[in-house]
Structure 1
Amino acid sequence: MAFNPFDHRGIPLDEQLRNWDQLDVAPVDPDESDPYTKCRIIALNGIEMEATMFSHHFARVCPDLDVRQQLARVRYMEQQQQKVVNWLLPGQASVLETTLSYEQVATDLTAWVARMEPDPYLKAGYQFGLLEDFDHLYRYANLYEMIEHRKAEKVVDQLTEVMPGRPTIQQHRDPMDNVRQPYDRETAAPLSKLHALTIMAAEQQTMNFYNNVGPMYMEPIARQLYQEIGLVEEEHVTHYESMQDPNETWWERLVNHEYNECYLYYSFMQTESDPRLKGIWELHLNMELEHLRIACDLMRRHDGRDPEAMLPHELPEPVTFEPNKEYIREVLATQIDYTTLGTGIVQEAHERFEAMQERINAERPSTETVIEEHRHKFGDEYRLEMEGPHPVPRLRAQPYG
């Protein structure tokens, strides 16, 4: 049955405050839980962090005291939600195991969004980023076996393949070529706006995670790999945030954020395999319905527009974490040699790209070194490939120098 978030008030804001015992949730078991359960946790943590930071940025430019106080009240509840969601991650999982799950999110969530995206230009943007995150999974999987002597299939199961995508060494581009054309707020499909916000938030959270955990490693190759891939994630955040129309008002963006949170909690409530987490997603959905109602009221009062006129009255089909092996192999077979030029995507290398490559790769990059060291230690690189209908070339690390 279709779900209309405007028909539901949810939990009143004054009743949403939780005490420490309620916030102290038990984490999932890393050995027993569905890998996609961890993916849903990571994705929702990114969504909550983006909602919080957006609210902070809005408050910093808003002169109305009443609005800033209302934003603060809602934001506190968003922060409680974020603490619950993020604290569901298992403490016994290593940082590298969690990193593999982050890249599984980036791979399978972006692939799903690319498959569902109605706008061809935006779809091409998601496909472009997909092949780069897919390669990051491969690089981290090799590091995982080198440092922890464990294989990535323990984390990703048989759901996501591990093999080279667009080589990370080729992902460093002139920053101006990471900026895309935005959708048009007046004509874009509502689903396109939700997609853009979702993937931007996920990539932003990944960037922040790598920036924070990378320097905590003692092993030089690990520190270097997190640094290099963390810088690519900066490119990805630029890539995805530029898809959103900068002409959207602050009120419009506030409503879009709250509507998107309703959409994702509803989606994951529908698809979650863990009954306990399903209950948490349902609880948070009922909180977000009230946050959406408040955002809509603020938009009507301060922007003079009815938010229900710009958003669908039925949530789209649920966002789903599912294997995308065939789809990714098809994109690999046709788009692995793509790069960007201005706001477009091209197949041929160009002067700015070559100049950036020459400068940043003047010393051996870690993403190549990690594969070479893995081969030296184990005789070959680590891969996890399943049978698939699309032939994928067995790419080696790029010759260096």
Structure 2
Amino acid sequence: MSFNPLEEKGVALGDQVRNWSELNVEPYDKRTVDPYTRCRVIAMNGLEVEAVMFSHQFARHTDIPEVKSALAEIRRIEQQQQKVVNWLTPGEESTLEVTLGYEQEAVDLTAWLARSEPDPYFKQTYEFGLLEDFDHLYRYANLYEMLEGKKAEQVIHRLTEVMPGRPTFAEHRHPADNIRKHYDKHTVHPLSRLHALTITAAEQQTMNFYMTIGNRYLEPIARGLYAEIAMVEEEHVTQYESMLDPGESWFEQLVLHEYNECYMYYSFAEQETDPRIRRIWELHLSMEIEQLRIAADLMKRYDGREAAEVLPAALPEPVLLEPNKEYIREVLATQIDLTSLGTGYVMDAHRRFQENLAKVNAGGNFSEEVIDAHRERFGAEYRLETDGPHPVERLREDSLTGRR
């Protein structure tokens, strides 16, 4: 059954305001939560943060009082929605446990976007970033056992494998090589547009999270690892945001943001296993439908265009968070040595790439040190290889051990 949020009736904006006790929701239980429920919470927090920050930027670039007022009203609700979503994360969940959730979400959300992406160039872009987030999960999983004495499968279960991806030390590119071609707003497939908005918001939230909490550790190796990976997340945001067409008007972008939130809340409500949290997704969907209606009205009044001109007639198939082990193994086997040159991808470790690596890696890499330290303490590195040995022979643990 098709679902078009433009034709649905949402909750009136004045009725969307909640009191403090309604915002201070009961968090999920970290011992029993479905890992993909945790991932959905992380993803929607990212989308709500993006909505708020976009609205602030729009407000700073318009001098129309009515538009500023409408943005402020919607933004208050988006802020409340963000509090509800983010407050679902329990305080008893350690920073590293939340981090493992962030990287599991990055891996399986990016893999799903890549699998369902209709544009070959954007599909390649998602696969390129996928192998880097996959490696980050492996590095943090080793740090987690070192600092907290626990194994990552207690957080991510056995849904996502843990083993090397494209090594983090090889992810530090020159900024000019993190820019991608943007879609053309006149010809872009609607799904490509929504994918680009989703991945930009998700990676931006990961970047923001690491920027904020990376200095909260006493252990130098932990601080160093967060610093190194946080810089890669900046690269990812640069990569994904450059896919958005800068020719889209502010009003068009507002409509797309609201529509994408409808899409993601609808998708996650469809697959949520926790009834209480599913009700939150459904409530927020009803709220976003009204916010979309207001955004569409603003675009009609000030851009002279109907929202239906830029939106699909119905929501695409829902975004699914699910295991992607076979797909990731295929990408690992064929793209582990890929890097970028300008807006394209190459297997050649070109001069600009090598020169930048030499600069940033001159003092060593915490991403490598954490594996060495884990190996020294436990006699082996931490991996979760549920579907057999690593698809790249040189990255199998026996091969790495022999080289060290």
The equivalent of 2:311 in structure 1 is 311
Matches within 5 A, 1:13-28: 13-28=13-28
Residue identity matched to 2:115: R
Aligned residues: 401
* Cα displacement string for residues 190-209 of structure 1 (whole angstroms, at most 9, x for unaligned residues): 11010000001000000000
1:368–1:398 CA contact under 8 A, matched in 2: no
Q: Tell me the distance in 1 between the aligned counterparts of 2:113 and 2:84.
A: 26
Residue identity matched to 1:284: H
Report the 3-state secondary structure (helix = DSSP H, G, I; strand = E; otherwise coil) of the residue aligned with 1:30: coil
1:34–1:273 CA contact under 8 A, matched in 2: yes
2:332–2:391 CA contact under 8 A, matched in 1: no
Matches within 5 A, 1:179-190: 179-190=179-190
* Cα displacement string for residues 116-167 of structure 1 (whole angstroms, at most 9, x for unaligned residues): 0000000000000000000000000000000000000000101000000000
The equivalent of 1:288 in structure 2 is 288
Task: Detail structure 1 runs of 4+ shifted over 4 Å in the superposition.
Answer: 396-401
Matched residues, percent identical? Answer: 63
Q: Tell me the distance in 1 between the aligned counterparts of 2:37 and 2:87.
A: 13
* Cα displacement string for residues 351-375 of structure 1 (whole angstroms, at most 9, x for unaligned residues): 1000001111101110000000000
The equivalent of 1:354 in structure 2 is 354
- How far has the Cα of 1:388 moved from its partner? 5.1
1:267–1:319 CA contact under 8 A, matched in 2: yes
Residue identity matched to 2:171: Q
User: Structure 1 length normalisation: TM-score?
Assistant: 0.98
2:230 equivalent to 1:233: no
The equivalent of 1:136 in structure 2 is 136
Q: 1:227 to 1:398 in 2, by over 3 A?
A: farther
Q: 1:394 to 1:90 in 2, by over 3 A?
A: farther
- How far has the Cα of 1:392 moved from its partner? 3.6
Report the 3-state secondary structure (helix = DSSP H, G, I; strand = E; otherwise coil) of the residue aligned with 2:345: strand
Residue identity matched to 2:291: H
2:163–2:384 CA contact under 8 A, matched in 1: yes
Report the 3-state secondary structure (helix = DSSP H, G, I; strand = E; otherwise coil) of the residue aligned with 1:154: helix
The equivalent of 1:267 in structure 2 is 267
Q: 1:306 to 1:398 in 2, by over 3 A?
A: farther
2:255–2:299 CA contact under 8 A, matched in 1: yes
Q: 1:398 to 1:165 in 2, by over 3 A?
A: farther
The equivalent of 2:96 in structure 1 is 96
Residue identity matched to 2:89: L
Q: Tell me the distance in 2 between the aligned counterparts of 1:153 and 1:98.
A: 13
1:36–1:321 CA contact under 8 A, matched in 2: yes
The equivalent of 2:191 in structure 1 is 191
Residue identity matched to 2:76: Y
Matches within 5 A, 1:186-265: 186-265=186-265
Q: Tell me the distance in 2 between the aligned counterparts of 1:390 and 1:117.
A: 26
The equivalent of 1:3 in structure 2 is 3
- How far has the Cα of 1:399 moved from its partner? 11
2:343 equivalent to 1:343: yes
Residue identity matched to 1:265: Y
Matches within 5 A, 1:30-49: 30-49=30-49
Report the 3-state secondary structure (helix = DSSP H, G, I; strand = E; otherwise coil) of the residue aligned with 2:340: strand
1:177–1:341 CA contact under 8 A, matched in 2: yes
Q: 1:59 to 1:285 in 2, by over 3 A?
A: same
Q: 1:294 to 1:399 in 2, by over 3 A?
A: farther
Q: Tell me the distance in 2 between the aligned counterparts of 1:111 and 1:68.
A: 37
Q: Tell me the distance in 2 between the aligned counterparts of 1:387 and 1:50.
A: 36
Report the 3-state secondary structure (helix = DSSP H, G, I; strand = E; otherwise coil) of the residue aligned with 1:367: helix
Q: 1:400 to 1:55 in 2, by over 3 A?
A: farther
- How far has the Cα of 1:170 moved from its partner? 0.1
Q: Tell me the distance in 2 between the aligned counterparts of 1:188 and 1:161.
A: 33
Report the 3-state secondary structure (helix = DSSP H, G, I; strand = E; otherwise coil) of the residue aligned with 1:345: strand
Residue identity matched to 1:391: P
- How far has the Cα of 1:398 moved from its partner? 11
1:325–1:388 CA contact under 8 A, matched in 2: no
1:296–1:307 CA contact under 8 A, matched in 2: yes
Q: Tell me the distance in 2 between the aligned counterparts of 1:240 and 1:29.
A: 33
1:181–1:242 CA contact under 8 A, matched in 2: yes
- How far has the Cα of 1:324 moved from its partner? 0.1
Q: 1:400 to 1:343 in 2, by over 3 A?
A: farther
Q: Tell me the distance in 2 between the aligned counterparts of 1:399 and 1:169.
A: 20
* Cα displacement string for residues 196-235 of structure 1 (whole angstroms, at most 9, x for unaligned residues): 0000100000000001111010000000000000000000
Q: 1:390 to 1:137 in 2, by over 3 A?
A: closer
- How far has the Cα of 1:394 moved from its partner? 5.2
Q: 1:158 to 1:326 in 2, by over 3 A?
A: same
Report the 3-state secondary structure (helix = DSSP H, G, I; strand = E; otherwise coil) of the residue aligned with 1:215: coil
The equivalent of 2:369 in structure 1 is 369
Matches within 5 A, 1:368-387: 368-387=368-387
Matches within 5 A, 1:320-335: 320-335=320-335
Q: Note the aligned Cα RMSD (angstroms).
A: 1.5
* Cα displacement string for residues 160-193 of structure 1 (whole angstroms, at most 9, x for unaligned residues): 0000000000000000000000011100001101
Residue identity matched to 1:345: Y
